[in-house]
A and B are shown apart, each in its own frame.
Chain A
Amino acid sequence: MGNIFGRKRRSRVTEQDKAVLQLKQQRDKLKQYQKKITLQLQRERELAKQLLHNGKKEKAKLLLKKKRYQEQLLEKTDNQISNLEKMVEDIEFAQIEMKVIEGLKIGNDCLKKMHEVMSIEEVERIMDETQEGIEYQRQIDEILAGSLTAEDEEAILEELEAITQEDVELPEVPTEALPETTPEKEAVKNKPKPQLVAAS
């Protein structure tokens, strides 16, 4: 992976870049031309002034005529420059658009390839199998749960109710007597809590 070889093999300058450069070169030339003319205009104005001072009105008039003509030229070159610049921008934008399309194309190909891997039948089959798996798991759950429900579910419900009731009573606890709670275990567990709340 020699650097020099990498660069020599393919230049990163495209045909479009060359076209842009050419347009810009042209623009530079026009700009130089403009600079020349503006300088000339200034000089001629001074000269015309001087001629007027010396009483050479006709000559001054002629000079001003020439100046006017050059001003028109200047305007024309302005237009040409803006044309060139527009062209440059168009090319640059077209290049960007090309890149965008390239990107979209790659994305599209990639999507297609991935879709080839996951055909609809395959997805359906997988989904069906998953469904079956879930069903199977549920059956297992039921069997396992069935052996426990009788006593435990009731106990759970009871505990749940106890907790919810306590939660409702919580705000009143500090004012009234404490030991009025139902099961002994929970009473012991919950006692510290209301005290803490009240203290803070």
Chain B
Amino acid sequence: MGFEWPWQYNFPPFYTLQPNVDTRQKQLSAWTSLVLSFCRHNKFYTMNVMEIQESPLFNNKKIQRKLPLESVQVVLEELRKKGNLEWLDKNKTRFLIMWRRPDEWGKVIYLWVSKNGMTNSVFTLYELINGDETEGEEFHGLDESMLLKSLETLQLEHKAEIFTLNDSKGVKFF
């Protein structure tokens, strides 16, 4: 996979939430940054809690340690507070993980658009994510809800306008 785990990953106490407030804060920030870099490496966008708990991220088979579900919830909640995570349902089982914030994605997309002289052009969301033109771009294969969020940030900056036709959305860049 080529993912570089931080040293804490093989450190057993890392898998038990620490009672001391300071230590706990450090531990949580280490966890959140690990979650973000793990998801970025694997290009994960939407996941559910069970899935992520079983993934190597929270489940270190080498040292036989696994972060318990309640602690996973705490880590995810921490991410939500930071604005990197959004729950997709009321029961908090599915979530959107944003290892790059929507406005950052917006910038990446807009850079590509202006670099290719595509301002003033209309795109379907499908072609931005799956089209041949965006092959090899970072946002190729991006989650659609994520794309929509980033386009909305561009819309606020008057760089794009989203419009709907026949139940599917399109965007025009300016």
Q: Which residues of A contact B (CB under 8 A)?
A: 3, 7, 11-13, 17-18, 20-22, 24-25, 27-28, 31-32, 92
Is there an interface contact between B172 and A25, defined as CB atoms closer than 8 Å?
Answer: no
| 8 nearest A-B residue pairs (beta carbon) | A21-B170, A28-B126, A20-B122, A24-B124, A17-B122, A13-B163, A21-B122, A21-B165
When A20-B122, A92-B121 are in contact, do A12 and B170 touch as well, CB less than 8 Å? Answer: no
Is there an interface contact between A13 and B121, defined as CB atoms closer than 8 Å?
Answer: no
When A18-B165, A25-B166 are in contact, do A13 and B172 touch as well, CB less than 8 Å? Answer: yes
> 1/0 per residue B64-96: CB within 8 Å of A?
000000000000000000000000000000000
Name the B residues within 8 Å of A32 (CB-CB).
126
Main SS at interface, chain B: strand
A20-B122, A21-B122, A25-B124 given; 6 more Cβ-contact pairs under 8 Å? A11-B163, A12-B174, A25-B126, A25-B165, A32-B126, A92-B121
Q: Which residues of B contact A (CB under 8 A)?
A: 121-124, 126-127, 130, 158, 161, 163, 165-166, 168, 170, 172, 174
Name the B residues within 8 Å of A13 (CB-CB).
161, 163, 172
Is there an interface contact between B127 and A24, defined as CB atoms closer than 8 Å?
Answer: yes
Is there an interface contact between B127 and A18, defined as CB atoms closer than 8 Å?
Answer: no
Beta-carbon nearest neighbor of A12 in chain B: B161
Q: For the complex, what is the distance from the CA of A3 to the CA of B155, rounded to whole Å?
A: 11
Q: For the complex, what is the distance from the CA of A12 to the CA of B170, rounded to whole Å?
A: 13
- Among B126, B166, B168, B172, the residue within 8 A (CB) of A12 is B172
Name the A residues within 8 Å of B174 (CB-CB).
12
Name the A residues within 8 Å of B122 (CB-CB).
17, 20-21, 24
